[in-house]
Structure 1
Amino acid sequence: MNSQKFDLKDGDILCISSKMCSIASGNIVDLKKVEPSELAKEIHEKIPRKSPEPIQVILNQTEDATGNRIMIADNYIGGWLPTGLFLTSAGVDRQGTDKAVVLPKNCDLIAKEIGEKLIGALQVQIAIVTTDSDGRVDKKGANQVAVGLYGIDGLRKTQYDDKTYVETLCDMLANSVGLVMGQRGVNIPVVKIRGLEYEFNESATIEDALN
C-alpha cells in the first residue's frame, strides 16, 4: 500500500471484494469435477442460461440438497447461505468456462483477519467491509452488498420524534463503493472510504444486520 501511495488513517473503512478474498483463499471449484444432481438438471431446464454444474455448486453452497433454500423466478436464481445471507446464485461466480468462485464460509472472519493484520502492521484503526455483487429479482443489473464486517456495525440507528430509525449501513457503504469497483472487467477490488463517523466495534458481524 505504501508503494502505491494508498494511505490509511484512523477511521478509514476499506471495502474489499469478496471475490478477491475467495481467490486468495483458494475457494475455486473445478466445474469439470462437479456431478449435477437431478434437481440441478431440473433447475437447468427452468433457467437454460445456467449449466447444471454451476447450479449444483449453488445448491452445495446453501447446504440443502432439497432446494428449499433457493428461489427461482423467471430467469433469476438466488440462494440462502447457512449464515442467513441471501445472494444471487448464492454468491457463486463463474470464472471462465470451467471454474466457479464461491464465497468464504465465514466472511466476517476474513474481514477480521485482514483488519487485524493491517491494524497491527500500520498502527491505524480501520474497519473492513467485504462486498459481493448482487442482483434483484425485480430489477435489471447488479449492485453491491456487504457480506462480511469487522470494526463497524452493519446497522445505523437514529432517534427522531421518539422513534428509532434503522438503516442498513453496511449495504449503503457497499453500494457506494460499487460506483468505483464496477462489475466484471473493471478490476478495482479495494476501495477506501474516509470521513464517515462511526464507533469502532471489533465484535460487529454481518449477522447483526440479518433478519
Structure 2
Amino acid sequence: MLTIKGLHNVPQISAPCDLPKTLAEIIKKESFKIVNGDIICVASKICSLAEDNIIDLKTIKPTSLAEKIHKQIPRKDARLIQVIINQTGDPTGKHLEVSGSHIGAWLPNCLFLTSAGVDKGKDNFAITLPKDCDKTAKTISDTFFAILGVRTSVIITDSDGRVDKKGANQVAVGLYGLNGLRLNKENGTAETLCDMLASAAGLVMGQRGMNIPLACIHGLEYEKSDSCKTKDIVN
C-alpha cells in the first residue's frame, strides 16, 4: 500500500546547519519510521536556508531590464526581479518569460520555474535555490544511510505556479537514487515520475507556513538509479 507521511516538529533552520544530520536526528527523536527504498521528499527552501542561499536585497542594484519588468509587474520588487534575472545566468533576459503578473525563468540546468525558484523572505531578503539540488539530495541520502542505516531515494521539491492557474504545485528540482522518468516499454511514452512524487508529497507538506518540510513516500515500486540527475529529465 502506498502511503505518504510528513515529518513534524522540525525547528526553524538557519545557516550554518548540517541539515541532513539534523533531519536524521529529528527522525530518530520522533520515531519517524523510514525503510530501505522509501522516497524522501525535502522542501528546497529548508535546504537553501541551511546552505545560506540568502541574498540581502539592500545589496542588489536593479538594471534597466529589472526596472522595466517592475513597471509591468509593480507588486514585484525590482531588486527581487534582478535576483531572478541573475539566477538565469543571462543578463539580457532571454531566459525569462513574462506574462501578465507572472515571471517564469529558464535556469542553467534547463529547468523552467516560476521566479527562477526565488522566494521573497522576511526583512528584504531573497532565498534562492540550493546551488546543486542533485548534490543536496545525494548528501541527504548518504547521511540517512550513515546515521539511520537505511538507503532511501531523495527528491528536492519546490513550489511552482502556472500562468493559467491559481495557486501552486510542487515539482522536483533535484533527485538522487531513482530514475526521474518512468518509461512505458509498450508504447515508448514516459512519465515524469519525480514530479508526480513531488506533487503527491505536496498533499502532506503543503505550502508556506505548514512547517512540514519532509515527507516519506512508502510502498512504491520504482527503478532505482544512482546516476540519474535533474538534467536527464528535461528537454
1:172 corresponds to 2:162:
no
Aligned equivalents of 1:143, 1:199: Cα separation in 2: 24
What letter corresponds to residue 36 of structure 1 in structure 2? P
Residue 6 in structure 1 maps to residue 41 in structure 2: no
Q: Give the SS at the match of 1:159.
A: coil
Match status 1:58 vs 2:84: yes
Q: CA deviation at 1:33?
A: 1.0
Q: Which residue number in structure 2 is paired with residue 206 of structure 1?
A: 230
Are residue 195 (structure 1) and residue 219 (structure 2) matched?
Answer: yes
Report what 2:56 is aligned to.
Answer: 30
Aligned to 2:65: 39
Percent identity between matched residues is 53
Structure 2: distance between partners of 1:20 and 1:40: 27
Deviation readout 1:34-75 (Å, 9 max, x if unpaired): 111111000000111101010000001001100000100011
Q: 1:185 aligns with which of 189, 194, 209?
A: 209
Match of residue 5 from structure 2: none
Residue 128 (structure 2) aligned to one of 94, 102, 116: 102
Q: 2:43 aligns with which of 17, 27, 48?
A: 17
> What's the TM-score once normalised by structure 1's chain length?
0.97
Aligned to 2:162: 136
Once residues 137 and 154 of structure 1 are traced to their aligned partners in structure 2, the CA distance between those partners, rounded to angstroms, is: 25
Deviation at 1:129, TM superposition (A): 0.2
In structure 1, the gaps of 5 or more residues are: none
Pairing 1:53-132 to 2, within 5 Å after superposition: 53-132=79-158
Moved more, 201-210 or 146-155: 201-210
Segments ≥4 residues shifted beyond 2 Å:
none
1:119 CA drift (Å)? 1.3
Residue by residue, what CA displacement relative to the aligned partner does 1:124-147 show, whole Å, maximum 9, x if unpaired? 121000000000111111000000
Offset at residue 100 of structure 1 (A)? 0.6
**Residue type of the alignment partner of 1:176:** A
Whole-Å separation in 2 of the counterparts to 1:70 and 1:27: 21
Distance in 1 (alpha carbons) for counterparts of 2:205 and 2:125:
22
Contact 2:142 2:151 in 1 (8 A): no
Query: What amino acid does structure 2 have at the position aligned with 1:153?
Result: N
Instruction: Tell me which residue corresponds to 1:147.
Output: 173
- Return the offset for 1:159: 2.6
SS at match of 1:2: helix
Q: RMSD between aligned alpha carbons?
A: 0.9
Aligned length: 209
Question: Which of 191-200 and 86-95 deviates more?
Answer: 191-200
The answer on whether the counterparts of 2:88 and 2:107 sit within 8 Å (CA) in structure 1 is yes
Check whether the contact 2:57–2:80 (CA below 8 A) recurs between aligned residues. yes
- Between 1:87-96 and 1:197-206, the stretch displaced more is 197-206
Q: Deviations over 1:2-45 (max 9, x none)?
A: 11111210110100000000000000000111111111000000
Deviates more, 1:12-21 or 1:112-121: 112-121
